Amino acid sequence: MCCLNIYAREKLLPEEGFLSSDHPFNSPPIPAQPEAKRHSSTWESHRQKNGSKHLAVIRRSPGSGPHLILGQARYPVDMASTITNNVPRVLDGIAIAAQIKSELAEQVASARRLGPAPGLAVILVGEVPASQIYVRSKVKTCGELGIYSELHTPSANATTEELLDLVASLNSRDEIDGILIQLPLPQHVDTTRLLEAIAPQKDVDGFHPINAGRLLNGSPVEKVLAPCTPAGIMEILRRSGISVRGKRAVVIGRSNIVGKPLAVMLVNASATVTVCHSQTTDLAAVAREADILVAAIGRPGFVTPEMVRPGATIIDVGINRIATTEDLERFFPDDQARHASFAKRGSTLVGDVHPAAFAVSAAYTPVPGGVGALTIAMLMANTVKAARLRRG
Ligand code: GUN
């Protein structure tokens, strides 16, 4: 059975090494040697045993000795044993979310002994199937934790004015602590106006400019309603004992919902943070600087092994559905379980990180079962927090 999931397509070997000169494990780039004799390696025997087409290989190069080639990266062979013996830790989002929800259930039970339950109102406009699934799951989780919830389902034709009236009525009701407008909204609706109409103290998504500003100003975590996905990432790091203070964090993606607020939270936690985006020059070299590398760019398998510093923590925020056998082969060439589930469902999920890149890391969040699992738990946490902050 394969215990390591490092693999590479030999046909993708680059013309030269990709590690930057300041990479701690760098060696000078060496020209590709297609005719080079393959050094005997555990990968070769693994490949023969498993019939795998994809593997990490060790190649000899004249003048520079054997190197491990993994994706487009080359590592000195003394690093190769570190990498090939590496067993990265899986940061289990489902387990962490379960722990958070169990703590919240206790807090809700205590709150209910003293007064009304925390209450969440969810607005779902129209009938987008994916949104319906998300919302159903949010309402169900409220029930499991003892949080009061109500679902408002205006039609897809509802006007901005009608939705503003609904938000105003929810703002004025004392038993409602949190208001969530499920996105995306129909195109004719003014999303920004609606989100800004939610009373900041009931903004459990943390999207309101007042809450974004408070986060930027360094308000303590207990006092600010922060966006759920970045808040979930901070919980994964904290509960996994991965220290942020003094670390170099690189966030790939600059969305208002994930990248920007996460960068602020990491800075507030004393990390040194770089935000990368589509215009970043030599993004791979910047990414390789990271102790904590966050991929939130919405592109399947964007982060490849050569972008990862060995021993980094990888947080994969992407959830991308792939439905072609080419993509299945590209991302999961040797993963029998994925192949089986793909055959059954006709699709599978991949994050913004190529699965081969996880093998270089010390720890990573899987997809599915990583960051995504935290989002609803953090929404519940924000609802309980909003009730506590507003009611005292
Ligand atoms: N649509 C998908 N994710 C979210 C979310 O976290 N909040 C809201 N309001 N809408 C979403």
Express the helix, strand and coil content of the chain in percent, nearest 5 each: 40, 15, 40
The whole-number pLDDT of residue 62 equals: 61
Domain spans in the chain, listed from the N-terminal domain onward: 10-84, 94-214+377-391, 235-370
Burial class (CB in 10 A: 0-12, 13-18, 19+), 85: exposed
The whole-number pLDDT of residue 75 equals: 64
* Both structure tokens of 371: 């960051």
Is there a contact between 231 and 265 (Cβ–Cβ < 8 Å)? yes
Is there a contact between 230 and 377 (Cβ–Cβ < 8 Å)? no
| Predicted confidence (pLDDT) at residue 27 exceeds the cutoff of 70 | no
Is there a contact between 35 and 29 (Cβ–Cβ < 8 Å)? no
Q: pLDDT tens digits, residue range 284-329?
A: 999 999 999 999 999 999 999 999 999 999 999 999 999 999 999 9
- Percent of the chain's residues with pLDDT above 70: 79
Q: How many CB atoms lie within 10 A of CB 196?
A: 15
Catalytic residues: 138, 182, 205
Ligand 1, atom 11, lies closest to the CA of 183
The distance between the two most distant Cα atoms of the chain, rounded to a whole number of Å, is 76
| Phi, psi of 118, deg, nearest 5 | -55, 145
Q: pLDDT tens digits, residue range 122-147?
A: 999 999 999 999 999 999 999 999 99
Is there a contact between 73 and 19 (Cβ–Cβ < 8 Å)? yes
Q: pLDDT tens digits, residue range 222-266?
A: 999 999 999 999 999 999 999 999 999 999 999 999 999 999 999
How many angstroms does the Cα of residue 21 sit away from the middle of ligand 1? 41
Q: pLDDT tens digits, residue range 39-56?
A: 333 333 333 333 333 345
* Both structure tokens of 273: 């943070």
User: Which protein residues are within 6 Å of ligand 1, measured from CB?
Assistant: 134, 180-183, 205, 228, 375
Q: What amino acid is encoded at 306 in this protein?
A: E
98's CB contacts (< 8 A; 6+ apart) are none
Ligand 1, atom nearest to 183 Cα = 10
| Phi, psi of 289, deg, nearest 5 | -75, -15
Among 217, 206, 299, 209, smallest CA distance to 252 is for 299
Positive/negative CA dihedral, 79, 80, 84, 85: negative
- As a whole number, mean pLDDT of residues 158-169 equals 98
| Predicted confidence (pLDDT) at residue 363 exceeds the cutoff of 50 | yes
How many angstroms does the Cα of residue 184 sit away from the middle of ligand 1? 8
Ligand 1, atom 9, lies closest to the CA of 182
Q: Which helix (H) or strand (E) holds 249?
A: strand 248-252
Ligand 1, atom nearest to 180 Cα = 9
Ligand 1, atom nearest to 181 Cα = 9
Q: pLDDT tens digits, residue range 85-98?
A: 789 999 999 999 99
Q: What amino acid is encoded at 259 in this protein?
A: G
For residues 222 and 64, the model is more confident at 222
Is there a contact between 84 and 42 (Cβ–Cβ < 8 Å)? yes
| Predicted confidence (pLDDT) at residue 345 exceeds the cutoff of 70 | yes
The answer to whether the 94-214+377-391 and 235-370 domains have the same CATH topology is: yes
Q: pLDDT tens digits, residue range 168-227?
A: 999 999 999 999 999 999 999 999 999 999 999 999 999 999 999 999 999 999 999 999
- As a whole number, mean pLDDT of residues 104-111 equals 98
Is there a contact between 332 and 339 (Cβ–Cβ < 8 Å)? yes
What pLDDT band is residue 21 in, cutting at 50, 70 and 90?
Answer: very low
CATH class of 235-370: alpha beta
Ligand 1, atom nearest to 375 Cα = 6
How many angstroms does the Cα of residue 243 sit away from the middle of ligand 1? 28
Among 354, 338, 348, smallest CA distance to 297 is for 354
- Confirm or reject CATH 3.30.70.3460 for domain 94-214+377-391, answering yes or no: no
Which of 128, 139, 151, 180 has most ligand 1 atoms within 8 Å of its beta carbon, as the pocket-test mutant?
A: 180
